Amino acid sequence: MAEQIYRVNMTNLTTSTEPVPDKWMGLGGRGLTSTIVADEVVPTCHPLGSKNKLVVAPGLLSGTVAANSGRLSVGAKSPLTGTIKEANAGGTAAQMLAKLGCKALIIEGLPKNDIWYTLQISKDGVTIQEEKELIGKGNFAVVAGIGKRTSAKHGVMTIGPAGEMKMLSANISIKDPDSHLRSSGRGGLGAVMGSKKVKCIIIEPTDAKVEIVDQEKFKEANRTFTKALVDNPISQALGTYGTNVLVNIINESGALPTKNFTGGQFDGHEEISGETMHDIIVEREGKPRHNCHKGCVIQCSQIYNDKDKKYKTSGFEYESIWAMGADCCVDNLDHIAEADHLMDDIGIDSIETSVAMGVAMEGGLLAFGDGEGICRILREDVGKGTPLGRIIGCGAGSVGRAFGVTRVPVVKNQAIPAYDPRAIKGMGITYATSTQGADHTMGYTIATNILGVGGSVDPLSQEGQVELSRNLQIATAAIDSTGMCLFIAFAALDDATCLPALVDMINARFGADLTAEDVTNLGISILKTERAFNEAAGFTSKDDRLPEFFYEEPIAPHNVVWDIPDEELDKFWNF
């Protein structure tokens, strides 16, 4: 099936299918969303206005049987940061869109009337239907309702009440293989979808297959690639304990931000650790291993049940557990799981919202450690859109301004996640220089700073951090374009067979002749495209800075501050 661009104009309620322009032909995922946003969105536009566009794109290998290739990219100008944004998630949507021949879905314009709509995508294109039944519903009810209306096999992308209310931390949720949720979480793209009055996107299942030019070469490369992933010790640890295996590791390193970034170690770390979570999951007959999308061989997701052995949450990630746990000083996993469930249903980023709660605790709204109070505020304020709920729902920066708090851990107004930059300098470089605000996934230096993957760079030293972050940001941009999970990077950094096999799969898929250098150049091109958009939007190198308290307040136990000179940060873009 020939790939096409699916375009939806919400102003005149029309849809069209278009041939893929030559410039976009060799792109997918983040590479395609960022290119389309850069080509078609006015950088200075209001993110919730008519000139912004929401772009959805599967990766270059989405829809194939390639291991771990089920990630979907969603892009727009971010209402939270004002920068270009790509948010990445698993679920079933990427593979389904690719099989329908949808190279990208572009949603533009704003409706003239106060009416909500549902988009339905099939092999014939997109249809727009007025939606009444699901408005105001949480994400779990939307997925269940669409399942009854269509079938359990249909794909769903949805916003919750936070997106409808255009909260700046609102996310876009994607149905996973078990009809639970995965989130395109960061940057407030759910608010962009809400501004266009699109409650959900329904994707029709199909038996069509993605065309692969050289089937045998593809199968051989995928076998090599899969073996590299399965054999990798980091993959194996993730499969056993999930990403939450990092709690004890990062706590030991002194880089687990605690009590709104006032310390680097949390006394209750064992109670919220991956090892403890694993034992609770097994005891309550949940699933310690679970796919967030079909074909994942790492299986770092899980299903966490409550005390009555009923489903509570899934995809219970380290960054979310850290944010509601150590940062808010909550040492009860059930309270954190309840909060995670509520945020999934409301449709709001669990990192941004949890860090906002930590700032609010410093401002005196709640006592640190009050997990029940957090859940109450999520239910009664954020979920219902009270004035307090809207302040929290617009992120950590919003809370800091409202409560007069000066220790607000954000870069470009996006909350810093999970790793204190004073104790892991490489992550500080990534947070400062990322084109999309503070985001650990943009250049995950934990691999080399802490886990010793791809070499070793002392996390407390100034030496080598800019180069490390730059190389990983380039690689990540390329990985995000393939539809691959970021966690393939652990094998790619340490197994000489992994990256060549990935390149071989791309070549076999398209009949191309790319090299590893071409993949690197793709990553460089994406970063430069995103940087140029931000510069046109008014951002400068002065925005590539951490908050001043990191420079002034030493963090225990190492008693270190952020000490990378500004001139070193500015060298990041010298490539």
Residue-number span of the structural domain to which 88 is assigned: 4-203
Closest CA to 39 of 108, 126, 127, 95: 108
Mean pLDDT of the region 130-138? 97
Mean pLDDT over the full length of the chain: 96
Residue 370 included in any domain:
no
Mean pLDDT of the region 361-383? 98
Residue 371 included in any domain:
no
Cβ atoms of 572 and 469 closer than 8 Å: yes
Cβ atoms of 329 and 298 closer than 8 Å: no
pLDDT above 70 (res 140): yes
Mean pLDDT of the region 104-120? 97
pLDDT in tens, 263-283: 999 999 999 999 999 999 999
pLDDT above 80 (res 1): no
Mean pLDDT of the region 199-225? 96
Mean pLDDT of the region 294-310? 92
Axis crossing angle, helix 139-149 with helix 333-346, rounded to the nearest 10: 60
Length of the chain: 575
pLDDT in tens, 503-513: 999 999 999 99
Dihedral over alpha carbons 552, 405, 260, 329 (to 10 degrees): 150
132 — pLDDT class (breaks 50, 70, 90)? very high
pLDDT above 70 (res 192): yes
pLDDT in tens, 407-463: 999 999 999 999 999 999 999 999 999 999 999 999 999 999 999 999 999 999 999
Residue 364 included in any domain:
no
Q: Residue 33's CB: how many other CB atoms inside 10 A? A: 31
Mean pLDDT of the region 494-508? 96
Mean pLDDT of the region 349-375? 98
The predicted pLDDT at position 293 comes to 84
Q: CA 16, CA 34: separation in Å to the nearest integer?
A: 21
2 — pLDDT class (breaks 50, 70, 90)? confident
The predicted pLDDT at position 294 comes to 86
Closest CA to 424 of 384, 464, 391: 464
Residue 138 included in any domain:
yes
Give Cα 121 to chain centroid, integer Å.
Answer: 23
Residue 23 included in any domain:
yes
Mean pLDDT of the region 520-525? 96
CATH number at residue 128: 3.60.9.10
Residue 397 included in any domain:
no
Radius of gyration over every alpha carbon of the chain, rounded to an integer in angstroms? 22
Q: DSSP code of 168? A: T
b/e per residue 278-294 (b: at least 16 CB within 10 A)? bebbeebebbbbbbbbb
- 359 three-class SS: helix
Closest CA to 245 of 329, 302, 176: 302
Percent of the chain with pLDDT over 90: 97
* Backbone angle region of 470, left / alpha / beta, with phi > 0 → left and psi within -120 to 50 → alpha: alpha
381 — pLDDT class (breaks 50, 70, 90)? very high
Q: CA 151, CA 146: separation in Å to the nearest integer?
A: 7
pLDDT above 80 (res 130): yes
Residue 450 included in any domain:
no
Residue 226 included in any domain:
no
Based on the structure, what is the number of domains in the chain? Answer: 1
pLDDT above 90 (res 295): no
